[in-house]
Structure 1
Amino acid sequence: MAWVFICIAAGAGGFLFLIVIDYRKVSAGLKPKADLAKAEIRDCETKIQAEQNATEETKEQVGSQQKEIEELEKELEELKPKVDKYREREKRRKPTKYKLEE
């Protein structure tokens, strides 16, 4: 009866040995693919970081441009009465010109 257990143990040991050998074959074939995938992930992360930096710079530029737009709009509002006053004065000087344009 002991021989039966020894044979079963030897068969299980042989089966385990075959499983380990197959695992090593597969893992050896997958290691270069995994390394390539990791390298691609690093490349993508650097590209993402570069794009995020570019986005931040663009946001800063947009912010400064918005401030400049606000300043120019204020200046326009300040000059609008002067322009209207000038146009009124010109209408009195050259009434026929404005009648033709309207």
Structure 2
Amino acid sequence: MANRHERRRNAKHSMSTMTVSEFLELPSMCAWHGCGKVAKNPYAAGWHSMLLYKGQPKLNFIEIEERNVQRDAVLCPEHARHLDERLLIDIGGRLRDVQGTA
């Protein structure tokens, strides 16, 4: 009988490719542990993007090196509100009034 490493090496893997438009049409799931909400078009449904990265702040996210990205996810409106109102410290609300920032 083959050991675990041999079985893993012999396992059949399938890979498929898709276009960018096909990728963008995939549904998104809320990153909140245990939520399970899914949206076909999360940005039109009021969901929030969350990009966590290490390094210096960048005005243009394209400038962020891929190796520094820790998490690229979305949160449903309920959990984005919970994060903002209950888990993050209040910094005076200034950033909420500036378009294009967190």
Q: Same fold (TM over 0.5)?
A: no
- Using structure 2 for the length normalisation, give the TM-score: 0.22
Q: Which has the higher contact order (CA 8 A, sep 6+)?
A: 2
- Using structure 1 for the length normalisation, give the TM-score: 0.22
